[in-house]
Amino acid sequence: MRYPTTRLHSRTSGMPVFPVSDVIIPKETAICITGHRERSIAPYRGDPELRAATVMAVKLVLSRYINVVMDKGYTTMINGLAEGADLWAADYCLKRKRFAKTKLIGVLPFLRHADFMREENLDILRRVERFADGLVTTCDVPNMRYSPIATPYTSPTLYQNRNYYMVDNCSAVVAFFSGSSRSGTAQTIRYAQRRNKPIFSFGIRDVYAIMDEVGTEKNAIIQKLDDIRFAVPKPEPSPSIIPQWQNISRGNSNKIIF
């Protein structure tokens, strides 16, 4: 069942959300983000007192990877707005807007996705949704929620559909991935591999190696990040862009181009 676009809004921020069928993302210059959640990050040296420093280091390395890739001409970040790496990357993307041409497109797996988030992450989500360049959803049924059991208003494939949509609409993937084969991040990476998308990935052991060398101080880690370099293919030239709301392709369907 399709619902009118004007009825869709984020429950967290009240911002308008478009069904993916109503939008076009120029994938030639888009990257997507995937990564682990904070609770899956083991603290450096197994020391609980170093958990905050470990998370800080992960965020810094993630930001460095984003910069290296996007500095090659990828101007749009597609982000799944999940807790952990997704929201950290989205929050950094808003900061990147201050010094580089950058767009942020948030992809909601379902409209009530924030119901599953911890309270401390909701403020970040609200800010990200408010200042994103666009919000879309891969499930526009208002009361649908995730469940491992399918019912008329629950589905086990909501996150998978979101992940596959992001990969299909990007030309490169940035991942914080430490090898858990059962995670959503692993699922996204496997699908990106099948779709022949370049993947730029780091894991928690890479973060530990940096901390082994320079310690846990933020400035020392930032200086070390200059050593992180890798080859990134330049994005393919984008086709001519059709103005927003202009009739395109099939029938009388109007689409938004982000």
What's the CATH number where 172 sits?
A: 3.40.50.450
The C-alpha angle with vertex 195 and arms to 191 and 201, in degrees rounded to 5, equals: 60
Rounded-to-integer distance, Cα 117 and Cα 92, Å: 19
Return the pLDDT at 44. Answer: 98
* Alpha helical stretches, state H, the chain: 51-70, 85-96, 119-131, 158-168, 184-194, 204-214, 218-224
Cα separations in angstroms, 63 against 55, 153, 174, 191, 203: 12, 37, 10, 23, 14
Q: Is residue 20 part of a domain?
A: no
Range of the domain at 94: 28-225
Domain count, the chain: 1
Return the pLDDT at 182. Answer: 79
Q: Is residue 7 part of a domain?
A: no
Q: Is pLDDT of 238 > 80?
A: no
Return the pLDDT at 243. Answer: 43
Q: Is pLDDT of 6 > 80?
A: no
Return the pLDDT at 239. Answer: 63
Q: Is residue 130 part of a domain?
A: yes
Cα separations in angstroms, 102 against 31, 67, 87, 148, 165: 11, 11, 16, 36, 20
Q: Is residue 8 part of a domain?
A: no
Q: Is residue 111 part of a domain?
A: yes
Please give the structure tokens belonging to residue 80.
């799944």
Half-sphere exposure of 166 (CA within 13 A, CB side): 36
pTM: 0.91
Q: Is residue 170 part of a domain?
A: yes
Rounded-to-integer distance, Cα 160 and Cα 163, Å: 5
The C-alpha angle with vertex 22 and arms to 28 and 112, in degrees rounded to 5, equals: 105
Give the mean model confidence (pLDDT) for residues 100-115: 95
Cα separations in angstroms, 130 against 136, 188, 199: 13, 26, 29
